[in-house]
Structure 1
Amino acid sequence: MLAATAPATIAQDDGFYLEEVVVTARKREENLQETPLAITALSAEALQRRQIVGTDDLDKVAPNIQFASHGPLTGNSSASQVFIRGIGQTDATSSVDPGVGLYIDEVYMGSSVGGSMDFRDIANIQVVRGPQGTLFGRNTIGGAVVITTGMPGEDFGGTIKLGAGNQGLMEINAAVDVPISESLKTRFTYGARERDGYVEQLSSGLDLGDESTYTLTAKALWQASDRVDLTFKFDYTEEDENGVPYVFADISETAAFPAALSANAGCPGASFPPPFIPDGVVDGLNCVNSATFSAGEFANNGSVIPRSTLENSGFAAIANVDLSDQFSLKYIGSYRETNWTGVRDADNTPYVILHTSMNSDSEQSSHEIQINFEGDAFKSVLGLFYFQTEADEDLSVNFTPPEGVIIPVSNDAILTTESSAIFGQITYELTERLQFTAGIRYTDETKEAFLDQFSSAPAGLEDGAGPLLSPAPDANGQGITEVYEPIIAATRYVLLENNVIEFDDTSGHLNLAYQFDTASVYASFSQAFKSGGWNPLYNAVQPLSDSEVGDTQSGPGNPTSFAPETAETWELGFKWDPSDSFRLNGALFTTSYQDLQITNRVGIVPLLFNAGEAGIDGVELEFAYTPSASWIVEGSLGLLDGTIDEPVDITTRTVVDGVVTEVVATQTVQRGNATPYSPEATANVGVSYIFGVGDWSVIPRLDANYVGSQFFDAGNTPEIAQLDSQLTARFALTLEDDSGDWRIVAGIENLTDETYPVAGNSSLATATGYAEIVYNRPRTYYLNVEYSF
């Protein structure tokens, strides 16, 4: 039932025109221009025309959305960081839920890893902006991205597309419809993509940021009767890549680990323990400093061999039953498994300051029942939802710390979530033009964390007791000082017991909409929440919890919890079609963002905590204009102001010889900081022209995208920020034969070869003192040939 058509399509005889857009964000098919929500809808034809080939491209066509891969901490290339209207989540590990819900064929994807993907066999995409806590539920506090893949066709046929380009690009995508009988139809797809990386690791010669992935899907549609249809789907994705293209951004010369390494290497003026020398003094080749280790935007100076793998598979079943002319029943069931690894050199230097290796095996299952009623003046949907997931996440960490510091070297966490919800929404037409909508959802959730953690104290840095880790320049910049792995005296610091928290939430939605002859306007109020949970990482310094889940800490080694975060949005919007050739949609909104879940380093470990409150205000406009059948101009504008208003102090506790000491920790999040991934302005505009040459239609297309400056963390760390606004462009030339059998596309991405940051991670304020950053891929070009049969 999910469907969405683009605001403009190509007709071989008539050129470009605006058509009715069908969306399903309210769990029933509706005209976009009569749906009182902020939605961007893209059909397969629109995705092709605008050359949107993956989730990372969605911010090129929709306002106030940032979709980035390479989530920090995981070391996995498919880890997504999705923000809509300044709300999302930067931590993609299993202990943290995403802030924007991703749905594929109506199934919620619970893992951020795997959320960054190529688009293959896509029927349509809907980007629904603003809290969607009533109908979509948990973890849609920023909004939802709803993806629908192709359905089996009536007749045998399909498509095959071959592609090639610079930087070693090779890809194939194929889909075939195979009808079994009049009532049973099937569809099979295969896709594979290979591309070289664009960042060289100097120590190994590996190319980081490479792409190596393939996907298989099988879908069956059984029309059991005139009133019953069932859809079954299986999908499998595998990725095996060299690793995330992070590079060195900065290092704090006075942080404990870098300072100790400098002193150990005989750096002039370096000493450890404190007092430390000031930044800027440590500038020799044998010293740990930014000048020594910075290798530019496309070179990695790390010593560990990075790797990123993903194996993602799932089965889904959807049943639609028409109980009567007005009542219908839908069931959505799914089971999924996700296995991934991520190996990274966090400091990106020849030293072993911080290396991580993470492995995660997870499975999820979900069940949803919807009962829809469609009357003349009254419409409703009632539903039940159940979701369960279990993730076994192993983290290994290698350090070269100062002597005697207690550090974690192994962290094994089994994290489970069980969530159930009941929801309902009604829409009543008060008059022929005025309608009122009200909805509510109640969610009950339990999260458990079973932890097994080891810590150790190193015997020495340079005593040769352990294996050689890495060379370092000596005091004269000649030869090496041998740095050895510390002797590990493993100690289990966490009792093998289950840690359990429970919470519930009630989210609502109110909407009043009025329909004019050529326009509609609406005012709405929406709520949503993002789940709380556990910090599974060991840390000797423990933050106290004063959240609603209570004080769950009793000393070092015990896991810390964090509470859910919530958002409430007031919105005014309009949809305007003054003529058959022009369409303009817009929204004005203000959001109260409470109990922000923000990553902050306490000690040396990244922990999630509730950081206080933020206010987010914004404006969105989307338009499409066809001055004639030969031209289309389309684009969007997003303005955003997200500010952290009330940061909360973190009180920490240390226990030494049974003595508890509580202090207020250093807070990197300050009042007035911008919310992450919240550029003040985003804009895009594209122009297409169609003309005929013999039996072919020729369609040149030029797109431009603007993204204002933005920070990638709540601490607003400038070393990993996009401090300058960016203007990029891309071009595509499409040839289509009049029979519709052949399509040839040649294109250029990043037309002017701009370089700018797209993600970052900072631990500058901790003992490890590192910062890492990812830049965009340089200019690429490609050629695709597609044949339909």
Structure 2
Amino acid sequence: MSLSSLSLLLLAGASPLAVGQEVPTVTAPPEPAAPAPVPGDEDRTPDDVQRSSVSSDIVVTARRRAEQVQDVPIPISVVGVKELDSTGSFNVQRLQQLQPTLQFYSTNPRNSSVNIRGLGAPLGLTNDGIDQGVGVYIDQVYFSRVAVATLDFLDVQQVETLRGPQGTLYGKNTVAGAISITSKAPSFDFEGRAELTVGNLEFKQAKASISGPLADTVAVRLGLSTTTRRGTIYNVASDNWVNAQDNVGLRGALLWNASDTASITLSGDWNRQNPECCAQIYAKYGPTQRAANRQYPALTAALNYAPPSTNAFDRLTDLDSELNALNELGGVSLRGEYEIGSGTLTSVSAWRFWNWGPANDRDFTGLPVTTLSQNPTKQTQYTQELRYAGKGDGFDYVVGLFGFYQDIHTTGTQRQGPAASRWLISPSARDATAPGSPFLYLDPTVLDGLTAANDIRLKNFSGALFAKANWDVTDQITLSPGIRVNYDDKVGSYVSIVTDGQGRLVPATGGTPRQVEQRTAVTPQAFRDEAYRAWNVSYDFTASYKPAQDVLLYATYAHTFKSGGLNLNGVPVVAGVAQTQFAQVDPEKVDHFELGVKSQFWDRKATLNVTGFWTSIRDYQALVNDGQNSTLRGYLANAGKVRVRGVEADFSIRPSERFKLYTNGAFTDHEYVEFTNAPCPPERSGGTAAPVGSAGGTPGVPGQLSPVVCDISGQWLPGISKWAFSYGGELNQPLGLFGLDGQIYFAADANSRSKFSSNASRSIYTDIDGYTLANFRLGFRTDDFNIFGWVRNAFDAEYYDVLATTPGNTGLIAGQPGDPRTYGLTLSKSF
């Protein structure tokens, strides 16, 4: 089905969404606050108010106070509990299908990135030594691990996605935006909800929550969620389906209204994923400049190997190493709110932990090249935010203090197998100490059992003072300056000790020809107590103007930064010496401009918001891969300058309770303005080094010279589509069924995106073609009951989540196919 045909179908009827939905506010006072009165309603007749009841009056707390989203001069997308439940958006990965400027990439929970407008974190392997550019907050607590984004939403009320820098309003500095998730608050009226979903691929999901009073001033809320699904890829080696889902989550909250002006909320949660995951499988062969006898076709022929399929959408693999993605997170938080004077003092204290227990197949084949690859990690974090939101005559303000401490310890292991020598060692390598002996590449004992034991540590402190004011110059004009003073202190170590198959230490320099080849494959290195410490000041200024009751114009300039950091995946090694000058990464310096208009018309039955933005970043933190099969999986380097600019538009219309429609779109122009010393793409890698400054030989031709670095100025940034859309709507009709008065409804939603790059340096092999995913639902609902059938990726589109180069410059490109068509039935009941 063509995109145009799908668009026509969706115009006939489709799904609900954020921009055009009424979402109740959730705040911390004794009971959830009702939506604020609509300005101007006091001048409307009862008929006027009745007609506008189908409009969008969404209440958010983006500026630390309850206000309607249309009055906030920040581009915000809001998805409420009804939309989350009805669209199956039970985690951030699903949420991105509703919001075209939100990007989520994940090869496993640890190696996940959440970006807004393509900015936030480098696409690829996660490096613990840098900060995220998109802040994820749950109930005002900052989560430092993006792994939380892969977990199921648990008892959530609404999700606010704020685009653009937010460091003067939120605890942790965020240069690209923030995702603020608000859980349902404990209720003083007894209530509960249960939901059960079953589907193909043995999909089963259950959610339940209950809330009510324990005393006149104390209320409690408990929630549970569990999700399981069979894998989408069949492993012929283990006779099992992999890339499964296995999630469970628990959450509890206790609210105490200590007085009329004070409340305290104690909450805790525990979440665990433990699936057999995550396989990246054969996607294609793309010739590099490595010698032909050292590329994938020749190597597999020599080892008499062939993958079970060269079509990734056959969804077959033969990975021979253990796969696991144990991801466990949890913690407790204490939030207190106290009304003092004309404002509210808020304190948010939290402790969190994260345990990561992976197992991977990092040669991406069924051959015993790398038989063990894992980096189990344990992390604890502490956060404290103290904030006062006050109001004066013609102005309001927020001032806050924020402290963050993080302790990470990773103990990684990589072990080579009996096929490693043939796969990794050049056929020209001969053991000169044993004349007449076979070439080293034919001796499996050279690399078999070669093991790197890594010890990685980070202690990370960040503290900040931030403030934001809104001054109403007139009834129509508001000026909003903000400032943040930030201090970062990071101390990290990276130690990789390499031993051979007999347990003997492989030296960093010198040694026998065998040891030279061993450390070429797996490189020992160490740097300890590397420290990054710096103060930074960021600021922003917004001017907004309301020429009419339902129109808001605004302009923003922000100068901000993303903290510098440490390379905790290792650094390049030259002649056995770790190049510690690469151990530190400079901070990103961001200049951001934004113009926007928010409007409602047709008696607030229609909403149109348009935003234009221009973001320039100096010293952009880019991920660099060296392409070799070693413990150096990738490190960070500063690109000179990048630019992202574009236009976003959100439109929704709800002419009656029977019909609603929305479409959101984004055009994003993006490029490395200056990156002259970038890593080369695979087609320009793997050969003998060309003279410094030379462009090297013909790309993609074996045996050619390869440039040491490449100038990729003017090329695309990874992960960003130039065009992205989400759209949908709903038709419903009153109906009595089984003695119940309710509605029958048909809904659909879809998202489309154009081609994007999946490699730090754009490659002819790793562009992912654009695709469209369409979802449909048909159901019956009452005020407290809902049953509907659903189908996701209804037309079974074949697409990749990620394409990736693999170690060794063999030309093997691995991919992670997106989910196939899924379908099922959901039943929910509230009481």
Q: How does 1:183-194 map to 2 (within 5 A)?
A: 183-194=217-228
Find 1:153's aligned residue among 187, 195, 205.
187
1:50 positional shift = 3.6
Q: How does 1:437-476 map to 2 (within 5 A)?
A: 437-456=480-499
Find 2:237's aligned residue among 203, 206, 219.
203
Letter in 1 for 2:827: V
Q: Describe the shift of the 1:138–1:202 C-alpha distance in structure 2 as closer, same or farther (beyond 3 A).
A: same
- CA distance in 2: counterparts of 1:244 and 1:6, whole angstroms: 34
- CA distance in 1: counterparts of 2:711 and 2:665, whole angstroms: 29
Cα contact 2:308–2:317 (8 A) shared by 1: no
Q: How does 1:272-421 map to 2 (within 5 A)?
A: 276-277=292-293, 282=298, 285-286=301-302, 294=310, 296-297=312-313, 298-324=315-341, 326-354=342-370, 355-399=372-416, 400=420, 401-402=424-425, 409-421=452-464
Find 2:589's aligned residue among 551, 554, 566.
566
**Of 345-354 and 505-514, the range deviating more from structure 2:** 345-354
Q: Describe the shift of the 1:320–1:283 C-alpha distance in structure 2 as closer, same or farther (beyond 3 A).
A: closer
Q: Describe the shift of the 1:55–1:168 C-alpha distance in structure 2 as closer, same or farther (beyond 3 A).
A: same
1:64 positional shift = 1.6
Identity of aligned residues (%): 24
Cα contact 1:5–1:20 (8 A) shared by 2: no
Cα contact 2:804–2:815 (8 A) shared by 1: yes
Query: Which has the larger share of strand?
Result: 1
In the alignment, structure 2 segments of 5+ residues that lack a partner are 1-16, 25-49, 426-439, 441-445, 505-516, 681-690, 694-706
- CA distance in 2: counterparts of 1:720 and 1:410, whole angstroms: 31
Q: Secondary structure at the match of 1:57?
A: helix
1:249 positional shift = 2.9
TM superposition score normalised by structure 1: 0.85
**Of 615-624 and 18-27, the range deviating more from structure 2:** 18-27
1:352 positional shift = 3.5
1:595 positional shift = 1.2
**Of 446-455 and 745-754, the range deviating more from structure 2:** 446-455
Find 1:693's aligned residue among 727, 730, 735.
735
Residue 754, structure 1, aligned to residue 791, structure 2: no
Find 2:560's aligned residue among 514, 528, 540.
528
**What is residue 625 of structure 2 aligned with on the other side?**
601
**Between Structure 1 and Structure 2, how many residues are aligned?**
716
Find 1:32's aligned residue among 62, 69, 83.
69
- CA distance in 1: counterparts of 2:518 and 2:752, whole angstroms: 52
Letter in 1 for 2:761: G
Q: Could you give the per-residue CA deviations for residues 117-141 of structure 1, whole angstroms, max 9, x where no partner exists?
A: 2223110110101122222254522
Find 1:732's aligned residue among 769, 773, 777.
777
1:255 positional shift = 7.5
1:769 positional shift = 5.3
Q: Could you give the per-residue CA deviations for residues 305-353 of structure 1, whole angstroms, max 9, x where no partner exists?
A: 21110111110111111012x1221101100000012221123212244
1:768 positional shift = 6.2
Cα contact 2:91–2:153 (8 A) shared by 1: yes
Letter in 2 for 1:347: D
- CA distance in 1: counterparts of 2:277 and 2:192, whole angstroms: 34
Q: Describe the shift of the 1:33–1:490 C-alpha distance in structure 2 as closer, same or farther (beyond 3 A).
A: closer
1:496 positional shift = 7.6
Q: Describe the shift of the 1:616–1:427 C-alpha distance in structure 2 as closer, same or farther (beyond 3 A).
A: same
Q: Secondary structure at the match of 1:113?
A: helix
**What is residue 477 of structure 1 aligned with on the other side?**
none
Q: Describe the shift of the 1:187–1:125 C-alpha distance in structure 2 as closer, same or farther (beyond 3 A).
A: same
- CA distance in 2: counterparts of 1:254 and 1:382, whole angstroms: 55
**What is residue 714 of structure 1 aligned with on the other side?**
760
Q: Could you give the per-residue CA deviations for residues 581-617 of structure 1, whole angstroms, max 9, x where no partner exists?
A: 1110110111102211111123632111112211111
**What is residue 514 of structure 1 aligned with on the other side?**
545
Q: Describe the shift of the 1:285–1:445 C-alpha distance in structure 2 as closer, same or farther (beyond 3 A).
A: same
1:412 positional shift = 1.0
1:373 positional shift = 1.2
Q: Describe the shift of the 1:334–1:102 C-alpha distance in structure 2 as closer, same or farther (beyond 3 A).
A: same
Q: Secondary structure at the match of 2:215?
A: coil
- CA distance in 1: counterparts of 2:692 and 2:455, whole angstroms: 29
Residue 676, structure 1, aligned to residue 718, structure 2: yes
**What is residue 575 of structure 1 aligned with on the other side?**
598
Cα contact 2:322–2:360 (8 A) shared by 1: yes
**What is residue 227 of structure 1 aligned with on the other side?**
261
Letter in 2 for 1:573: G
Letter in 2 for 1:199: I
Q: Describe the shift of the 1:492–1:670 C-alpha distance in structure 2 as closer, same or farther (beyond 3 A).
A: closer
**What is residue 437 of structure 2 aligned with on the other side?**
none
Query: Which has the larger share of helix?
Result: 2
Q: How does 1:89-100 map to 2 (within 5 A)?
A: 89=121, 90=123, 91-100=125-134
Letter in 2 for 1:207: W
1:497 positional shift = 3.8
Q: Could you give the per-residue CA deviations for residues 19-47 of structure 1, whole angstroms, max 9, x where no partner exists?
A: 31112222222221111111001211232
TM superposition score normalised by structure 2: 0.80
Q: Secondary structure at the match of 1:421?
A: strand
Cα contact 1:644–1:672 (8 A) shared by 2: yes
1:299 positional shift = 1.6
**What is residue 615 of structure 2 aligned with on the other side?**
591
Cα contact 1:510–1:524 (8 A) shared by 2: yes
Cα contact 1:105–1:147 (8 A) shared by 2: yes
Q: Describe the shift of the 1:252–1:303 C-alpha distance in structure 2 as closer, same or farther (beyond 3 A).
A: farther
Q: Secondary structure at the match of 1:47?
A: helix
Letter in 2 for 1:614: V
Find 2:60's aligned residue among 11, 15, 23.
23
**What is residue 503 of structure 1 aligned with on the other side?**
534
Find 1:626's aligned residue among 650, 654, 657.
654
1:742 positional shift = 1.5
1:640 positional shift = 0.3
Cα contact 2:788–2:825 (8 A) shared by 1: yes
**What is residue 8 of structure 2 aligned with on the other side?**
none
**What is residue 20 of structure 2 aligned with on the other side?**
7
Cα contact 1:164–1:784 (8 A) shared by 2: yes
- CA distance in 2: counterparts of 1:701 and 1:144, whole angstroms: 29
Q: Secondary structure at the match of 1:505?
A: strand
